[in-house]
Each structure stands twice: as structure tokens, then as C-alpha cells.
Structure 1
């Protein structure tokens, strides 16, 4: 089997698709692109697709990951183009690499998020960030399927900064941009949990819903608070050489003789 790892996006209106919606769209794309998928055993076989740490519904993302298993080898970039053509605009396959290492999910240690706060002055956001980071713990409540749960958001935040929008992304009125790095912990701390923490510690309450986008996810460098590309180890790994039968010559596959020539040759 060949394993291919894909990076894909959720952009524009497609950020409102649920993970189940994406699964259905992706499986249709696999059929349209005629990908030679491996299937599970049992009464209801399904394509072998492993999804990793999907973004919450309603958030955009530039860095979602999954892995597929094939029964026949395919060139990764050709496969990427075929799948991208078979998906709706906004669900875009941006990268494909052959899996040459193990543990992709283990490398997704943290996410880089961008939160756009329309109606909030950058100075106000910066003050709130300083207050949040100065706190030892920032507890918030969130309703889960098991009921109301209280957990600390401060411990999950490795980095948090506030700034004004970039010059090429102007808006009408006040606007602040938060850039944060959040560790993948249990229970998961989401960007809206951090916003709840900013409201609790500094009374930061945007007048309109925030626009949230995941920019990256991968291994976390604790010293710098940066996140590295999780597909880099696969790109850098040397492909394994095909096995060669013991006792056969590399050129002909014929057992060598004492004189160096195959038996029966002139």
C-alpha cells in the first residue's frame, strides 16, 4: 500500500461546513478522481482515510491534514491536482506528499490562529492581551456533550499578540488582529475559549462575531512559540530502496557463477 498525506483548506463560506460535511465531499472527490483507495474489511467497507484534528465548524483554516491509503502507487502532485478539481472551491487541496515517516497526528502539537476583531481598537486588544498573559490561570466554562465544563485557557496559550490589520487588508472602522499559538491539550482549548478568557480577565467584548482562521499546525518550539510544518519530515526522508533478492545480480537477476558469467553462456 501507498500512504499519501494531504493538506487542505476551508475558506470563505465553506468554513461553515462541519467535519461530517467535509468527509462526504472528500469521499465523493475520491470516487470522481478514480483514486485506487484501500478499503476496510467487514460488512460495511469504507475508504481508509485518517483525519487529524479538524477545525471547529465556523472557523476557516489554511492547514487541515489527512492521510489516505492506496492500493496502487500514484504520483502525489498529480493526485493532489485531481482531488482539488473534484472538490468545491474553498475546500482546496494545497499539498500532497508520500508518507515516509510515522506519527503525523503526534506532530500536530499546536495551532497558529488569527482572530479578526472588528469594532475593537488595537490598543484595547493589546491591553487585554497583557492582562491575560499576566494571569496564572484563566478559567472559562463551555457546554460539552457531558454538560457544563470548566477549564483553564491560559495554560494552553503558548503565544498571544495583538496588532492592527495589515495594509493590504483594510476594513471600515476599528479593527484588531489577534495572533495566537494554542497547544493541543485535553480538553481542547479553542479560539473562542481564549476570547471568553479575554472577556473574563479584561472585559474585551467585540461588538460583532470574530472571524477565526487557522494558519498552521504542527510541532511546537516552546522556546520561540513557533509551529513547524508537519509534512517536512516526509519531504526530507529518503525513499526506501526496493528490496533485491539475495544471490541475484542487480543487472540480470540471474544467479552469479564462479567465473562471473551465467551458466551456459558462451
Structure 2
């Protein structure tokens, strides 16, 4: 008996882009755990998702630029494809109600087309670490003065060495909201291999006497197109 072709689903009629935050303890949510939580949320909210074709159809959700597990973020992005046309504000309210507190929807907009991932060229991070501002400022100056700083990190392909300095567009030191701590304001260019904020912190320690402490708090503040002046723009803006 000939094998039957898998069922074909109708194409999406609308695409929406979503900005959401990972806050509090939910910063420890892995990308896989978040994707499961989000799929459950769209099901509970009864959002008419478009589905992929094949023998195992799944809702059409495209994730882009997920932050590392353990870091907080105010600028995570994804795109959903719908089977019916909805008002973005209504989808915003439905998703925010269905997701657990700490995974919070910030904005939902119509997709203008093109690739969302291509719009996410850089991220701005805040890293709260131990140390007086003058000590951390000296460490940042030593980091910026270097042409190259190699760090190692275990990846899915094994232990890899790469340059953490080359991905840094800007690095400055500000006061932290925590006692006896300072904050690094970091603009990090996305690339391959991907350099993470903890890689930059490892590199900073290697060229200075700074001791960041046992629990640096890393928060992504923005993610989007990289401007000529080194600032990170809004990927939802044209």
C-alpha cells in the first residue's frame, strides 16, 4: 500500500511579533522550558494558531535571540503565525493572562515581513557585580585597551576558544542599585560564534584584579538593530 502524504495545513493569514520579559526567578527558565510554557499559554488563551504541515503538526512559533539561562531580560522576541486575523492588543492581553508571572508580555505588533532574527544585531546588557566603581572602571579600561581577549566555554560542539573583546561595541561602568556593587553597561554585537555577557565577564577578570562575586546579575535591557553610534535600536520600528 503506497504511503500517504502528510496532511497540508493552510498558510497563515497573519503574523504577529511579541516582545516579552524574563524576570525574577523565571530568569532561570531554559529556552526549551519557555517554549513549552508559551505553547501551553497560546492553547489556554485559545489563540487561533496556524500549524505546520506534516504528520506531527505544531503551532508556528519562531524564536529569535534567546537570552542565556540564568540571565534576566527585558527584550526577548518571537513571532507567531495565526489562522485568523486578530487585534494585536487583544493577543497581548490574552498572552499576558495565560503566561506565569515573571514571563511578561511587553508588546505585540503586526509583522512587517522579513526576518525578525536579522533585525536583532546587538544587545545592551547590565551586569551587576561586586566591587567599588573605581576598581571596576580600571578593569573596564584594561578590557577596552586590549586588541583581543581569548576565553573558553563549553558548547554543544565541545570546548571552544574565541575572542570576547571583538564582540564588544561599548563598555562603561555605572552605579548599581545594590550596596557595594557596580554595574557594567555593555553593548554586545551578535555574531558567530556567539559571545555572551558571561564571556565578557570572564575576559574582564582575566585582564584585571576585579572580583565580580558569586552571583553577578545579568539583565538584557535591549535587543535590536545596531546603530552607527553604537546604540541598540527597537526591532519593531521601521
TM-score (norm 1): 0.83
**2: CA distance between counterparts of 1:84 and 1:7?**
11
Equivalent positions of 1:1-266 (< 5 A) are 1-117=13-129, 119-165=130-176, 169=177, 171-172=178-179, 174-222=180-228, 224-233=229-238
Instruction: Map Cα deviations across residues 10-47 of structure 1 (whole Å, 9 max, x no partner).
Output: 00000000001111110111011110100001111000
Q: Counterpart of 1:232 in 2: which secondary structure?
A: coil
Max Rg structure: 1
* Aligned positions, number: 226
Q: What displacement does 1:193 show?
A: 0.2
Q: Counterpart of 1:155 in 2: which secondary structure?
A: coil
Instruction: Map Cα deviations across residues 44-73 of structure 1 (whole Å, 9 max, x no partner).
Output: 100000000100000000000000000100
Q: Counterpart of 2:59 in 1: which secondary structure?
A: coil
**1: CA distance between counterparts of 2:99 and 2:19?**
13
Q: What displacement does 1:144 show?
A: 1.3
Gaps of 5+ in 2: 1-12
Gaps of 5+ in 1: 234-266
Instruction: Map Cα deviations across residues 148-199 of structure 1 (whole Å, 9 max, x no partner).
Output: 111001110000001212xxx3x33x11000100000111000100001101
Q: Counterpart of 1:202 in 2: which secondary structure?
A: coil
Q: What displacement does 1:207 show?
A: 2.4
**2: CA distance between counterparts of 1:127 and 1:111?**
23
In structure 1, the partner of 2:7 is none
Q: Counterpart of 1:228 in 2: which secondary structure?
A: coil
CA RMSD, 1 decimal: 0.9
- The list of structure 1 runs, each at least 4 consecutive aligned residues, that deviate by more than 2 angstroms after superposition, is none
**2: CA distance between counterparts of 1:24 and 1:147?**
27
TM-score (norm 2): 0.93
